[in-house]
Amino acid sequence: MKTIDELLTEGVAGKRVFVRADLNVPLDGGTITDDGRIRAVLPTVKALADAGAKVVVASHLGRPKGAPDPAFSLAPAAARMGELLGAEVAFATDTVGDSARSTVAGLTDGQVAVIENLRFNAGETAKDDAERGAFADRLAELADVYVGDGFGAVHRKHASVFDLPARLPHAAGHLIATEVGVLKKLTEDVKRPYVVALGGSKVSDKLAVIDQLLGKADRLLIGGGMVFTFLKAKGYEVGASLLQEDQIPVVQEYIERARKNGVELVLPVDVVTATEFPDLKTKAPGHPNTVAADAIPADQLGLDIGPETRKLYASKLADAATVFWNGPMGVFEHPDYAEGTKAVAQALLDSPAFTVVGGGDSAAAVRLLGFDENAFGHISTGGGASLEYLEGKTLPGLAALED
């Protein structure tokens, strides 16, 4: 896989370089609430601009239905990128139409443009190879070189991720090169003890990665909404907590496999509950209640790991040499149910281990809860991509960058 460093050595001055970024930032109306993904691609964009390239940045945002939707416009992301770069960033109001062509044609050496949300064109996400290819052909007309740097999208077989690199000379940007290097440390010659903390809402989202980790990790810590399926699988009552009943047989099998493989599977000993899900907009008090993990009242739902579990999980992370954390331990967006996620984040900071925060909600939680991002070994920009890599899947966007 050619890297951007090799590309820069060859020279990009005067060339139109298409950078497939991941600018899929959270928005409150037109306001960006977390610009982490924009910051993550800046080293690549800046390096290309400083080398005299005409940089064309493209991304998706949200899930529009293959047609323009103002709610998913990349205009706020383009404006924020300009602020962070300290230079005006041009913005095209379409993907491959008149605005995109004229905007790119008007770029001078070292200037940056962002084109509109790729998913405003149905060809970006089409299942049909010919339809995707036709859109990739039109995107290719905007560029001389392709740089893949949207790690959060490399697990998608989309036109700008998979088909476009085949049509242009291509290289991996700084972000993708870094992400792949980190993930190799979690899959090849891993330093042990290797501890994995998994959270999030649905156990079904994590089954494939758990399946792989039962043969690789030394210890698994389970939290978040997914934990109640584990507790139910052990015969505990979980009250009104989130539960995927259809996954209980699989979870029971995994619990048994962990025992046979000598993998320590650690579940909460206490949980924080309430009678209803909290209001995440007003942050109104949620009236939390702490109960034993095997004694959740019928009218209550679990929303976080409890204080004894926080201590337990911190102790299980303390001796680790490698840690991968994906998924919050509770409803971290509300202060009454954020302590479990805070405790895991703090335990990672206190540990001498090589620590990887696996993107998505975990990365958002780190920022929302006020932790210093630079204090962690690595914070991934792609939760789903990270998980699929650890599952051993071939990621289309990475395969497309191979020579």
Find all residues with CB under 8 Å of 287, minimum gap 6, and list them.
Answer: 274, 275, 336
Write down the residue that tokens 């109640």 correspond to: 228
Through-space distance between the first and last CA atoms of the chain, rounded to whole angstroms: 6
Q: Which of 37, 156, 316, 342 is catalytic?
A: 37
Residue 202 known to be catalytic: yes
**Could you please report the per-residue DSSP string of 147-215?**
EE--GGGTTS--IIIIIGGGGS-EEE-HHHHHHHHHHHHTTSS--SSEEEEE-SS-GGGTHHHHHHHTT
Q: Which of 123, 150, 384, 397 is catalytic?
A: 384
Beta strand 112-115 with 194-198: parallel, antiparallel or unpaired? unpaired
Residue 37 known to be catalytic: yes
Cis preceding linkage at 193, omega within 30: yes
* Distance set, CA 90 to CA 2, 56, 223, 280 (Å): 28, 9, 44, 35
34 vs 24: CA distance, rounded Å: 10
| Three-state secondary-structure class, residue 32 | strand
Find all residues with CB under 8 Å of 18, minimum gap 6, and list them.
Answer: 56, 58, 139, 142, 143, 145, 146, 147, 164, 168
Please give the helix or strand (H or E) that residue 20 lies within, else none. Answer: strand 16-20
Q: Which of 173, 302, 360, 382 is catalytic?
A: 360
403 vs 238: CA distance, rounded Å: 51
Q: Which of 202, 216, 257, 393 is catalytic?
A: 202
Structure tokens belonging to residue 139: 């995107």
DSSP bridge partners of 378: 356
Positions marked catalytic: 37, 202, 360, 384
